[in-house]
Structure formats: C-alpha cells, structure tokens
C-alpha cells in the first residue's frame, strides 16, 4: 500500500475509533435511543454505515458501488437489539473497507469506478466515503454526548485545555507524521 493510501487508511481508522470510543462509554440501551421520530439511534446509524460500506467496498474496482442486493431503506429501520449485534455489524463494514483498501495500488488511484452510474476516480470515491463516514460518526458522537451529558469523556481536546495542548505540540520540533500518531 502506498503512502497516500496508508494515510487515508489512518484517517478511516481515526473515525472508526471515535465511534468505538463512543460505544465504550454508553450503556447498551443508549445505543437504541432516539431524540425524536426523525432522528436515528446510534444502532440505526451503524446499520446504515455498515450497509454503505459493504455496498461500496465489495468488488470496489469492478462493480458499481450501489449494489443491487443493498436494501438501503432497511438500514434505517431498527433491526439490531443488542450491543454485541451493533458491534458485529460495525466491524463487518469496517473489515470490508480495509480489505478493499489493502488490495489497491498506486496504479488504481486514477482508475474510474462508478457509484449509481456516476464516474469517480478511485481517489475521489475514497474521499467521498471518508466524508460520508465522518458525517455519520459525528452524529454518533453527538448522540453519545447528548445521552451522557456531564459524564461524557471528551474524544478531543477538552474545553479549557487548548493552550496547554498547543504548548505541548509546539514544544516539539517540526515533523511529518499523521496527526493521529500520538493520540
């Protein structure tokens, strides 16, 4: 895997970990909580993310990213009932994504693939999916914060700690590494 693909894989892993750190803070029943009828529970968001990942990353270079077998509307109906099922579904999607990324080479990055008959370079498709997953994982984190309120353990720089964080970062020499390397 080339340098660019490794960096992109690290970025996917970062968002995966944000979701998992949220799951770890929540009691099982919280994964199924909805703020209102129009919002999604964390479990439903996981169903959607996994469904999207399985569709987009299965046979990534050779078939359209929107598979005929995908049932997108069902992803938004509660189908999971335990934390173990949520985690299993979550892992199924991520495993499919990482397996597809591992098979890619430099030559593949400019190849054209299709999502709903719309052409994308492989690079564009990867960035499209990264943004999509970050969007929904942000929702997962937000729901976790709503549920836990004061008990929430931040996943980023804590409020009031920015100056200390920056002081520590700027105390080190300039370097080239992924921002998640020291998280």
Q: Is residue 44, in this structure, part of any structural domain at all?
A: yes
Of 133, 135, 141, 140, nearest to 54 by C-alpha is: 133
Q: How many domains does the chain have?
A: 1
177 is a domain residue:
no
Asked if residue 23 belongs to a domain, the reply is yes
Model pLDDT for residues 40-82, shown as the tens digit of each residue: 999 999 999 999 999 999 999 999 999 999 999 999 999 999 9
Cα gap 101→60, rounded to integer Å:
9
Tell me the CATH number at 9. 1.20.120.450
Confidence of residue 183 (pLDDT cuts 50, 70, 90): low
Spatial separation of the C-alpha atoms in residues 1 and 12, rounded to whole Å: 15
Is residue 171 situated within a structural domain?
no
**Residue 124, token pair as written in the block:** 């564009």
Please name the residue that has the structure tokens 């985690």. 87
Show the tokens assigned to 167: 């002081």
Q: What's the pLDDT tens digit per position in 143-177?
A: 999 999 999 999 999 999 999 999 999 999 998 88
**Closest of 108, 87, 70, 71 to residue 23, by C-alpha:** 87
In a domain? residue 97: yes
The pTM score is: 0.94
- Nearest CA to 80 among 40, 56, 46, 38? 46
Structure tokens of 47? 């169903």
Q: Which domain holds residue 56?
A: 3-156
């Amino acid at each position: 895997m080339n340098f660019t693909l490794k960096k992109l894989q690290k970025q996917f892993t970062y968002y995966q970990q944000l979701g998992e750190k949220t799951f770890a803070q929540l009691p099982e029943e919280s994964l199924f909580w909805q703020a209102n009828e129009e919002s999604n529970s964390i479990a439903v968001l996981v169903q959607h993310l996994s469904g999207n990942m399985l569709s987009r990353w299965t046979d990534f270079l050779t078939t359209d990213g929107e598979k005929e077998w995908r049932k997108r509307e069902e992803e938004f109906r509660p189908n999971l009932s335990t934390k173990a099922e949520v985690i299993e579904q979550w892992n199924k999607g991520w495993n499919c994504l990482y397996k597809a990324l591992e098979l890619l080479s430099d030559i593949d990055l400019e190849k054209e693939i299709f999502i709903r008959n719309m052409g994308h370079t492989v690079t564009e498709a990867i960035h499209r999916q990264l943004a999509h997953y970050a969007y929904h994982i942000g929702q997962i984190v937000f729901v976790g914060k709503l549920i836990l309120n004061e008990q929430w353990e931040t996943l980023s720089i804590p409020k009031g700690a920015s100056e200390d964080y920056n002081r520590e970062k700027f105390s080190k020499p300039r370097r080239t590494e992924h921002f998640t390397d020291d998280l």
